[in-house]
Amino acid sequence: MKVRTRFAPSPTGFMHIGNLRTAIFEYLLAKKYDGAFLLRIEDTDQERKVEGAIEFIYRTLELCGFIIDEGPMNEGKSGQYIQSERKDIYKKYALELVEKGKAYYCFCTEEELGEMRKKCELRNKPFMYDGRCSKLSKEKIKEYLDSGKPYVIRQKMPKVGETIVEDVIYGKIKIDNSILEDQILLKSDGFPTYNFANVVDDHLMGITHVIRGKEYLDQTAKYNLLYEDFGWEKPTYIHVAMVLGEDGTKLSKRNGDASFMDLYNQGFLPEAIVNYLVLLGWSPSINQEVFSMDELIKNFDETRISKSSSQYDVKKLEWFNHQYIKNMEDSKYLKWIKQYFTKDISNKNQEWIDKLLLIYKDHLNYGLEINDVTSNFFVDKIEIDKEELEFLESDEIIPKVIAAFKEEVAKINDWNVENITLAINNVKEKTGAKGKLLYMPIRIKASGFMHGPELADTLYLIGKDTILGRL
């Protein structure tokens, strides 16, 4: 049987990194087995729908290097891939369950449901629909339907025994049927509920493996009962523990946690984001951290997904991004980094700009950082912070190094990297300073930074006159 997975986001306009990680797992699983990766849009909650979100989701997945085999913009054999366009399908299958006696019409009003909730609150019990409409006579049901009374269709749940859920990561899970409410399958507006639409679509689209959050593990019992009611084969379930934010809480856009596009706009490379996220909750069998997409597909093993939650760490993500930036070809890097470079360069020539951007290639963690690390190349006066001042006052040889370097710079007629390097070496011989006592005072006084790229390259770009002024 060909492996078929699906990513089924809601069209809310952004994709947080927890959702993206699930998509990555689904994609790698499908491609590992030469299967198909589907995109399905779950828009049954019409109030949250954002215009243009489908194109946005395609853009995100394509940036990440995903090949979408079937979806709303490249439909395959499964018809529509947007749930709001499949309403007739859901109604057909909901009515089929009613005919089988596995579901029933529920005509309870909001007022009646509100009264039930109040009674539960008074008894300190969680609300669970009591199934009263399942006992209506055929005559009463016909009367209500003929009169146009609004209804929902509910699944008739077993109230005794257990439902077994088999999961690749968590094994066999037993769910007590007594806690399963008669869930709504079809709402009064004709839209299906999330759980019902998922099951119908996964079956009709031939989905073989379902990867989703561990927090929905208990809900899977309801899925299984629907599969059994229809007489359909169940997919393989793989539940994954959630990704927590840096504060240890669930990732959420409302909490200010970054979405994929937030990271992309800051200058994080999609391939670095994918590489980092796949290692949040999955461990390869080989001792390697940086993977290409092909390497991830080859090495992915769904049984090595962790049962434990993972914590998002932006510093670790920056480390991954740093590795990818360093390994870019210079021409590709220059084209990429110029998207993020916002300094006024109207009085600079292209050669100078390219050299400046290139000397920082091995020092960047993300794209927008280029503006911070190059800030002192675009000001006349630099500010030296407390840590740098403390260093400059830490050894009596430092003033001698600065004075000697000023003399050497003044003597340079042909301003180039070779002559600047020679000047630094002359300072070393004159003062006896070496290591950080030689290089760091020069760097701080000339550039305003304690650390940075190759010193001679940095000084060359700052310029002789500017350096003499700062010294």
Query: What amino acid positions are annotated as catalytic residues?
Result: 253
Q: Is the dihedral of CA 47, 212, 33, 60 positive or negative?
A: positive
Q: What angle do CA 209, 213, 216 make, to 5 degrees?
A: 95
What string of DSSP letters covers 105-136?
EE---HHHHHHHHHHHHHTT-------GGGG-
Cα 253–chain centre separation: 11
Q: Which long-range contacts (CB under 8 A, 24 or more apart) does 318-321 make?
A: 318/365, 318/366, 319/365, 320/272, 320/273, 320/275, 320/276, 320/289, 320/290, 321/267, 321/268, 321/269, 321/272, 321/273, 321/276, 321/365, 321/366
Q: Rounded to a whole number, what is the largest CA-CA distance in the chain?
A: 107
DSSP state of 302: G
Distance CA 410, CA 433 (A): 20
Q: Which residue has the tokens 């066999």?
A: 172
Closest CA to 228 of 139, 182, 277, 165: 165
Classified as helix, coil or strand, 408 is: helix
Distance CA 118, CA 151 (A): 22
Q: What are phi and psi of 362, to 5 degrees?
A: -85, 5
Going by C-beta distance under 8 Å and a sequence separation of 6 or more, which residues neighbour residue 132?
Answer: 108
Distance CA 150, CA 190 (A): 10
Query: Token pair of 318, please?
Result: 């920056």
Strand pairing of 171-176 and 152-155?
A: unpaired
Classified as helix, coil or strand, 296 is: helix
Classified as helix, coil or strand, 399 is: helix
What string of DSSP letters covers 305-336?
B-SS-EE--HHHHHHHHHHHHHTS-HHHHHHH
Burial of 311 (0-12, 13-18, 19+ CB in 10 A): middle
